[in-house]
Amino acid sequence: MVSRGIRGATTIKENNAEEIIQQTKLVLKEMIDSNNVKPENVSHVFISATKDINAVFPARALREFPGWTYVPVMCMAEIDVQNSLKSCIRIMMVVNTDLAQDEIRHVFHNEAVTLRPELVEKRGK
């Protein structure tokens, strides 16, 4: 097994706890399922949010998955770059896996598909 990063991102329409948790869970579930991730193989998860997201920590979404209690998770503020995507939650999950780097399935939902279109296109193949 080797250590690999799995990217995920989504956007929200409203800064409220329910939507933040719901959209984050959708991305996390797809990241986990499409890469066959087991919590015991996860080193850590970083979750960033743009400054317009502050109703709840998006990391709370991961705590709703059974077996993820002891996985280290940290939320942080995304760099506020001029003209960057707003209302965006980004996830970096570091896992131990047998998958090759080009076999990792990165997950982008909603307006976040614009962040890495080449990875979104690969996902469809």
Q: What is the CATH number of the domain that holds 58?
A: 3.30.1330.40
Spatial distance between the Cα atoms of 85 and 64, rounded to a whole number of angstroms: 27
Summarize the confidence of residues 88-102 as an average pLDDT. Answer: 97
Whole-number pLDDT of residue 85: 96
Domain count, the chain: 1
Q: Which amino acid is at 106?
A: H
Confidence class for position 125, pLDDT limits 50, 70, 90: very low
Containing structural domain, residue 71 = 2-123
Q: Please state the pTM of the whole predicted model.
A: 0.93
Spatial distance between the Cα atoms of 122 and 118, rounded to a whole number of angstroms: 6
Spatial distance between the Cα atoms of 58 and 76, rounded to a whole number of angstroms: 10
- In the chain, the N- to C-terminal Cα span, in Å, equals 25
Q: Which of 61, 67, 58 is nearest to 37 (CA)?
A: 67
